Structure 1
Amino acid sequence: MEPQLKTPRTPIVSILLLINVVAFFLELLAPGFVIRHFALWPLGDVQMMEALPAQMVTGEFHLWQLMTYAFLHGSVLHLFLNMFVLWMFGMPVEGVWGGRVFILYYLVCVVGAAIVQLLVVSAGVQAGAPSLGASGGVFAILMAFGMLYPNQVVLLLFPPIPMKAKYFVVLIGIVQLMMGLSASQTGVAYFAHLAGMVFGLLFIVVFRLRMR
């Protein structure tokens, strides 16, 4: 049975929102240090994208970057879009699962997306550059929402078309796969987005089996 859609108290979502906003201000204060040490770098030293400031020229991969990259963002718009989706879809998901399962789900998907991104860059599918953003976890939340509330109508923004969540999630996944394969935009980690959804699906399947 599909749970009733509601917006209960969701402390984990609130904490994630706060951490991401604080981290963004730290990026503004010390961009070179934060990007060099906490963004997700390909294995080994690489040359940064030309658009980035000179003080960010090189960086190294560290294990903690598999998680910390998800709390950094490249622009105000990047931060706003991810946090908006986290807030809108994360609240009802946390309301059903509870904080412990929700944060475990989110972090597992963030790390899974990071590993896939490293593999994609190592294979030469995408140019070597640091990755940052909560999109892997956010796309995983979309997957969770679609599975918890498959018949809930959501609004596709571009173009503004209402559709059921289960179709919305499938469409988003197809778009990410097509964009990743076509490589129409460099600098966007489409396969990491898709990986977040896949790891989310696997987590939900395993979790349901364990609950049974």
Structure 2
Amino acid sequence: MFALTPVVRALLVINVLVFFVTNENIIQQFGLHSFLSDEFNPIQLLTHMFLHGGLSHIFSNMIGLAVFGPMLERYWGPKRFTFFYFFCGFGAALLFSGVNYFEIRDVYEAVRDYRANPTPDAFLAFIDNQAPSLYDRIITLVEQFQRNPGDPTTQEYTLKLVNRIYADQVNEPMVGASGAIFGVIMGFGLLFPNTELFLLFLPIPIKAKYLVIFYGAYEVYSGVYRAQADNVAHFAHIGGMLFAFILIKYWGSQRKTFY
């Protein structure tokens, strides 16, 4: 079905094999954690690219690699394609981690402010800003706290809940090859912009350059407006595309190659 090239085939095999041996402990140890987490390890900048959170996650990534990767590998050769793939993956991880750092720091500051002033209004404001999806589940606690704001037991419980919300966010790992794959898609769009593609959900041909523009615009929109409900690392996708663009433009500006 796909005319796979050596590096693309190797990446597919490694990702699939790792997927079948992955468990929660492996994800926690080798998924990419926040720089603010005690569980962060620099090796996670590499290892997270070979972990996936589910069948649909790995399927979509590997389809993207199989469709767009071979032409880039034939164009550049195995060494340059391999460098490009991991460069985009690292770039995606760095941008995601940078954005995540500021987001988690904001949560930490909100936690610190609540610890200093554990009132019902402050608790409600924290939940509204940092964990709105929890509101329906803790409405009874909110009402109880509002009726009796001086109750030390209720205050202590809300403090533990706020701390747990922070811990859950700072220790939530990011996994997947999506950043590298979006870099591959960007590379394909830049090098073969007028190649016509047929998408499963759109039975008409679309040029690669328009597909890249659509993906890029969607990811920027989703990242800026914090589409957290879909559990997708949009800034990792943006990072992969951005670093692909930078590297290809840099290579294009060089008269000599070293690969």
The TM-score bracket by the shorter chain reads 0.7 to 0.9
Tell me which of 79, 100, 106 is aligned to 1:100. Answer: 79
Instruction: Give structure 1 stretches of 5+ with no counterpart.
Output: 1-6, 46-58
Given that 1:156 and 1:168 are in contact with CA atoms closer than 8 Å, whether structure 2 keeps it comes out as no
Partner Cα separation in structure 2 for residue 70 and residue 103 of structure 1? 13
Q: CA RMSD in A?
A: 1.9
Given that 1:154 and 1:163 are in contact with CA atoms closer than 8 Å, whether structure 2 keeps it comes out as yes
Please name the residue that 1:11 is paired with: 6
Please name the residue that 2:56 is paired with: 77
- TM-score of the aligned structures, taking structure 1 as reference length: 0.83
Partner Cα separation in structure 2 for residue 21 and residue 8 of structure 1? 18
Partner Cα separation in structure 2 for residue 137 and residue 20 of structure 1? 13
Partner Cα separation in structure 2 for residue 113 and residue 105 of structure 1? 12
Which secondary structure state, in structure 2, belongs to the residue aligned with residue 155 of structure 1?
Answer: strand
Q: Which amino acid in structure 2 is aligned with residue 43 of structure 1?
A: F
Partner Cα separation in structure 2 for residue 211 and residue 41 of structure 1? 39
Instruction: Give structure 2 stretches of 5+ with no counterpart.
Output: 108-168
Partner Cα separation in structure 1 for residue 31 and residue 92 of structure 2? 13
Matches within 5 A, 1:36-185: 36-45=28-37, 60-124=39-103, 127-128=169-170, 129-185=172-228
Q: In terms of Rg, which structure is larger?
A: 2
Please name the residue that 1:202 is paired with: 246
Counting helix residues as a fraction of each chain, which structure ranks higher? 2
Partner Cα separation in structure 2 for residue 62 and residue 37 of structure 1? 8
> How far 1:26 sits from its partner (Å)?
1.5
> How far 1:10 sits from its partner (Å)?
1.2
Please name the residue that 1:24 is paired with: 19
Identity across matched positions, percent: 39
| Relative contact order, higher structure (CA 8 A, sep 6+) | 2
Are positions 1:189 and 2:240 aligned together?
A: no
Assess, with a 3 A threshold, how the Cα gap between structure 1 residues 84 and 136 changes in structure 2: closer, same or farther.
Answer: same
- TM-score of the aligned structures, taking structure 2 as reference length: 0.69
Partner Cα separation in structure 1 for residue 216 and residue 27 of structure 2? 28
Q: Which amino acid in structure 2 is aligned with residue 116 of structure 1?
A: L
Deviations, residues 12-35 of structure 1 (Å, cap 9, x unaligned): 0000001100110110xxx23311
* Number of residue pairs the alignment of both structures matches: 190
Partner Cα separation in structure 2 for residue 35 and residue 9 of structure 1? 28
Which secondary structure state, in structure 2, belongs to the residue aligned with residue 61 of structure 1?
Answer: coil
